Chains A and B, each alone.
Chain A
Amino acid sequence: SQQGEEDPQALSIQEGENATMNCSYKTSINNLQWYRQNSGRGLVHLILIRSNEREKHSGRLRVTLDTSKKSSSLLITASRAADTASYFCATHGNKLVFGAGTILRVKS
């Protein structure tokens, strides 16, 4: 299966702290994407990093990609209570395949 694995499965932090989530995958990819999903809602696209990129920033988000290790990380800096959600990585070969996700809870 190409489905990736994410760790941690759940993360609970205080508002203002940084949150780091990791994703590993198994096959070669064209790009890797991170999504957020609030409980019972649809997906919100956060950021896309191409296979030839190593790091990308978007606001408080920082994504890294290590294709040699087949892994990626998502860092959310200065977290807010509104960041509470599930976060998924998705790898794109010829189709988008989602990782297991990390449930992030930011306590105010």
Chain B
Amino acid sequence: GAVVSQHPSRVICKSGTSVKIECRSLDFQATTMFWYRQFPKQSLMLMATSNEGSKATYEQGVEKDKFLINHASLTLSTLTVTSAHPEDSSFYICSARDNGGVREQFFGPGTRLTVL
């Protein structure tokens, strides 16, 4: 099946710093990618929909200036958590939708962010 990678898998940073997470579709093109956030023992919450070549669409309550999304190519989307604070510590998961006929959504392995 199609593979989506995320980098880094884990990151620990100091409060106030910015962290960039990459999401790549390795063997398919993805016009649309999605970013989810998951707190411990909770479900995945959709943060934003990332569209190649255009601005991301953010879900209600998600600060677009806090969570910067760039989808510069058909295989790469990045999420930057700006001025991170301890409450931003979470598991961030991306997914990519295959542009092909199936239009299935494939998930990355997630990035564990810990803000000290």
| Stretch of B14-22, B70-78, B81-89, B107-115 lying at the A interface | B107-115
In this complex, how many residues of chain A approach chain B with their Cβ under 8 Å: the count is 18
Q: Which residues of B contact A98 (CB under 8 A)?
A: 36, 43-46
B residues near A (Cβ < 8 Å) are 34, 36, 41-46, 49, 91, 93, 95, 104-110, 112
Q: When A95-B49, A96-B34 are in contact, do A41 and B109 touch as well, CB less than 8 Å?
A: yes
Interface segment, A60-68, A76-84, A99-107? A99-107
Query: Chain A residues with Cβ under 8 A from B110's Cβ?
Result: 40-42
Interface residues of A in 21-71 (CB under 8 A from B): 35, 40-43, 45, 48
Q: Which residues of chain B are near A92, meaning CB under 8 Å?
A: 105
**B46 and A97: CB pair below 8 A?**
yes
Please name the residue on chain A nearest to B57 by beta carbon: A95
Tell me the interface secondary structure of chain B in the complex.
strand
Interface SS of chain A: strand
Q: A95-B49, A96-B95 are in contact. Are A43 and B43 (CB under 8 A)?
A: no
Q: Which of these, A48, A95, A100, A103, contacts B34 with CB under 8 Å? A: A95
Contact A96 B108 (CB under 8 A): no
Let me know if A42 and B107 touch, CB within 8 A. yes
For the complex of A and B, the 10 pairs showing the least CB-CB separation, nearest first, are A42-B109, A43-B107, A98-B44, A98-B43, A42-B110, A100-B43, A101-B43, A42-B107, A96-B105, A42-B108
Q: Tell me which of B43, B44, B93, B105 has the highest count of chain A C-beta atoms within 10 A of its own C-beta.
A: B43
Contacts of A95 in B (CB 8 A): 34, 46, 49
User: A85–B14 Cα gap in the complex (Å)?
Assistant: 31
A20 in contact (CB, < 8 A): no
Give Cα A97 to B93, complex, Å: 13
| Residue of B with least CB distance to A48 | B104
Check B46–A96 contact: CB distance below 8 A: yes
Residue of B at shortest CB range from A90?
B44
A42 to B108, CA, bound (A): 6
A88 to B43, Cβ gap below 8 A? Answer: yes
- List chain B residues, Cβ under 8 A from A41: 109-110
Complex Cα gap A45–B106 (Å): 8
